Amino acid sequence: MMEKSFVMLKPDAVKRRLAGRIIARFEDRGLKIVAFKMLQIPEDLAMEHYQEHREKPFFRDLVDYITSAPVIAMVIEGKDCISLIRKMVGATNPAEADLGTIRGDFALETGRNIIHASDSPESAEREIKLFFDESEICSYEMPDREMIYEE
Ligand code: UDP
C-alpha cells in the first residue's frame, strides 16, 4: 500500500552537514520526497510532537535538543514506506543500531540520534499534520516508477 511517512533530520544531522547523504539514501531506494522544509522548531511544537514522552525523564533534554538548531522536515512517500524507513533509520540507540542503517552509520548516542521517522500509520498522519499544511504536500509522477515498482 502507498504510504506517507514523516521524516525529520534532527539539529545534529543539519549541523554536522549530513543532510544530503541521508536524503540520498531515501532517494536511492526509490522513495519519493513529497514535502520538504527547514525550520527551527518552536518549543510548543516540540512538546506536541513528542507528547507521548512528556512524563519521561529525558523529555526536557529531548525538547532542548530538538529546538536547539534548525531541522529538516520531510514527507516521504512509497510502498509500505513507514516500516521500511524505520528499518533504514535503525534502532533508537545508535550504539545498538545495525551497521548500514542511518543511525548505525552516523551516530553514537540516543540523545544525538540524528533522525526521526514515524513508527506507525497513525503517528505518520498525526506528525505530517503537525508540520505541514495539506497544500504543502506535492503530487508528481516519478518517470522511472516502472523500474522501481512491478505495478
Ligand atoms: N530519547 C532519549 N532518551 C531515551 C529514549 C529516547 O533521548 O532514553 C529520545 C531520542 O532522541 C529518540 C526520541 O527521544 O529518538 C523519541 O524516542 P522514541 O522511543 O520514540 O524513539 P524513536 O522512535 O525516535 O526511535
Q: Is the pLDDT of residue 113 over 90?
A: yes
Does the annotation list 67 as a binding residue?
no
CB 108 within 8 A of CB 62: no
Annotated domain spans of the chain: 1-132
Q: Is the pLDDT of residue 98 over 90?
A: yes
pLDDT at 147: 97
Q: Is the pLDDT of residue 5 over 90?
A: yes
Q: Please, what's the b/e burial string for 23-52 (b: 16 or more CB within 10 A of its CB; e: otherwise)?
A: bebbeeebbbebbeeeeebeeebbbebbee
CB 111 within 8 A of CB 56: no
Bridge-based pairing of strands 115-117 and 71-79 is unpaired
ipTM score of complex: 0.98
pLDDT band at 79; cut points 50, 70, 90: very high
Q: Is the pLDDT of residue 104 over 90?
A: yes
pLDDT at 123: 98
Helices (H), the chain: 11-15, 19-29, 43-49, 59-66, 81-89, 102-106, 121-131, 145-148
CATH architecture of 1-132: 2-Layer Sandwich (3.30)
Give CA–CA dist 96/74, Å, rounded.
25
Which residues carry out catalysis? 116
pTM exceeds 0.95, yes or no: yes
Q: Is the pLDDT of residue 140 over 90?
A: yes
Give CA–CA dist 148/55, Å, rounded.
43
Q: Is the pLDDT of residue 151 over 90?
A: no
Average model confidence (pLDDT) for the chain? 98
Closest C-alpha to 88, from 102, 106, 109: 102
Q: What is the mean pLDDT of residues 85-104?
A: 98
Beta-bridged to residue 3, according to DSSP, are 78
Tell how far the Cα of 3 is from the centroid of ligand 1, in angstroms: 23
Q: Is the pLDDT of residue 77 over 90?
A: yes
Tell how far the Cα of 45 is from the centroid of ligand 1, in angstroms: 16
Closest C-alpha to 6, from 101, 94, 98, 71: 71
Give the tens place of pLDDT for each residue, 40-71: 999 999 999 999 999 999 999 999 999 999 99
| Ligand 1 pocket mutation pick from 62, 82, 89 by most atoms within 8 angstroms of CB | 62
Q: Is the pLDDT of residue 100 over 90?
A: yes
Give CA–CA dist 33/75, Å, rounded.
6
